[in-house]
Chains A and B, each alone.
Chain A
Amino acid sequence: MIALEGVTKTYTRPGGDSVEALRGVSLSINRGEMVAILGTSGSGKSTLLSVLGLLDVPTGGRYLLDDADVSSLAGDAQARLRNARIGFVFQAFHLLPRTSALQNVELPLLYSERSSLDGLARKALESVGLADRMKHTPEELSGGQQQRVAIARALVNEPDLLLADEPTGNLDSRTAGEILDLLGALNAAGRTVVLVTHDAALAARCKRVVRIEDGRIASDEVNAVNVVNA
């Protein structure tokens, strides 16, 4: 489903010095996989996920999504793919303040080209266990609940690829476990899930773990046992 071929990303700062965040990453991910990307801070995990999520364009290399080169697509076409095929979950949730959970989840539908959107947001909120919190604003929700709302938002357009950048980074370990269980369940239901973390214990619960070091893939291993409680 996903194939990265020698992807590089160089950030050029206004001062002129540049940072090579990705130095030639080749990676392929099959439909239905659950992959953890593990690495120390500054190793390039978020950059890699941004490229996968079409939130940033790579400096070099190719990104094939279902065999189509998407790295060279025009901005509008990329926006359409982000909307229809990719769900993104952030460490900082990024929910609109003073806006109800339901309206937050409905946000992607605003830009959707699908014809029937009725009830999708409700369904998504129900699927993350927040049927009774639809009218609540982020300020009235716990961190775990906020991240559930964000996951529901990522799911609302029924994308086949779910990307999560340290989705549990702002949560305590018990809540983090619940969120990971939720992602595991979504993967079990057929979605491809790519998860960034620097917590080896969390990564160990995923079937496949890709280690990033200094912008390069250091290892790519399949765990013997899938420990995520699906």
Chain B
Amino acid sequence: MGRFRLRTLAMAAGSFVGITALTVVVSAGGAAERRIQATGRHHFGESSILVMAGGAPLMSGPRGEAARLTLDDAEALAREAPGIESWDPQQVLPGAPVKRGDATATARVLGASERAPLVWSRGVTQGVFFDAAAVAQAARVAVIGETVARQLFGNEDPLDAEILVRNVPFRVIGVLEPFGTDIHGMDRDAEIVVPISTAMRRLLNVDTIVAIKLLVRDPSRVDEAAGEVRRILRERHGLAEGQKSDFSMVTAILVKKMVARVQRVLIVFLPLVAGISLLAGGAASAALMLASVSGRVSENGLRRAVGARAKDIGLQFLLETTLTTLAGGLAGLAVGGGLALYVIRRFHLEGGLSPLAVALGLGLSLAVGLLAGVLPARRGAALAPAAALR
């Protein structure tokens, strides 16, 4: 091999690049996909309906001021739509200054009902969540996320301490279950949850809410319930037939579609890119190996002349390409694995080098080597020794 070092290196580089890409995509892509699915399930179980103020579709920026969604709307929906198990109204203060003594932080403040832990599947790890009485009295109590707790309290116990949210004093009664970063890259532990009434009256001074999440008892009837929700809300908002809704709705089905769209990128597109680069690497290997056959005609002729059988020559070529691409593949696995781990850590994903990536990487570089070697092996073996030595 030493005699054809550059060619060998180039050949190994082909499978190296391909396998690196593949490893990153399969490992990091897999982790991202798991995250998306978990997030989807977490926030959006099969039985959820999310109603948001404003006609804009999901996740497309701020909604119009004209949009009006009220607590009365929420109560009416819970009462009149069929099979509603629970519901939670939401109000949001996107970035509020929070203080405790000299320590400051910026947090997203959410107003919610006492049913939020059930409806959003997120409870507390310390203390308690606020109860119905707190909501009824618009009590100044807060449940804070871990990031907020760390920024304001360090290692101290936050429970029962007083914090200022937009200069309004609140008593900390609980710490939210950690969540980490969501698919939009937002730190969901930099949040504070307060009673919806407190948020509306004391922090925002509004009589509207931004969203309602409804849980349907029977997941198979979500569509039916969603239809009723739309009808009731349009009626309450006095919308005529053909007029655009001043609210938007998300159901599990819609979320599934979105997740599927992201997954298509992760599962189909990225591996396609990796596959193409691997193919290119394989083609390059084959071309280089063929060049190597013509460059080694006399060597092969000589080997034949001293007793090598045609299949010995073929096997030698096959072995050389396979070992070369395999070496490139192993290097690709190492580098790709490192990159994948970096990406996973950088984006707060879970998981590591996927066993699938390892299997695929080894298998494919082996296959590329074999395929790239077949033609050269045939060529090399077919020549009569005399012709090869001329």
Contact = CB atoms under 8 A, between A and B. Distances in A.
Contacts of A79: 304, 307-310, 312
B227 interface: no
Contacts of A107: 302-303, 306
B310 A75 contact: yes
Interface string B1-32: 01100000000000000000000000000000
Given A97-B3, A98-B3, A111-B312, A55 B306 contact: no
For B301, B302, B303, the residue with the greatest tally of chain A CB atoms inside 10 Å of its CB is B302
A84 interface: yes
Contacts of A84: 307
A98 B299 CA distance: 13
A157 B389 CA distance: 21
B38 interface: no
Interface string A73-104: 00110011011100010100010111100000
B306 A56 contact: no
Given A90-B389, A94-B389, A98-B2, A53 B308 contact: no
Nearest to A94: B302
B37 interface: no
A55 B304 CA distance: 8
B308 A110 contact: yes
B384 A111 contact: no
A53 B305 contact: yes
A112 interface: yes
Contact of A55 (B3, B299, B309, B385): B385
B298 A94 contact: yes
Contact of B384 (A55, A90, A157): A55
Interface string A94-125: 10111100000001101110000000000000
A50 interface: yes
A88 to B, nearest CB: 5
B248 to A, nearest CB: 73
A153 B303 CA distance: 11
B239 interface: no
Interface string B297-333: 0110111111111111000000000000000000000
A97 B387 CA distance: 20
A112 B307 contact: yes
Given A96-B299, A97-B3, A153 B385 contact: no
For A84, A88, A97, A157, the residue with the greatest tally of chain B CB atoms inside 10 Å of its CB is A88
B386 interface: yes
Interface of A: 50, 53, 55-57, 75-76, 79-80, 82-84, 88, 90, 94, 96-99, 107-108, 110-112, 153, 157
15 contacts: A50-B386, A53-B305, A56-B387, A79-B304, A79-B310, A82-B304, A82-B305, A82-B306, A82-B385, A83-B306, A84-B307, A94-B301, A98-B2, A98-B3, A153-B306
Given A79-B310, A79-B312, A108-B307, 19 more contacts: A55-B385, A56-B386, A57-B384, A76-B311, A79-B304, A79-B308, A79-B309, A80-B307, A82-B304, A82-B305, A82-B306, A84-B307, A88-B305, A90-B389, A94-B389, A96-B302, A98-B3, A111-B308, A157-B307
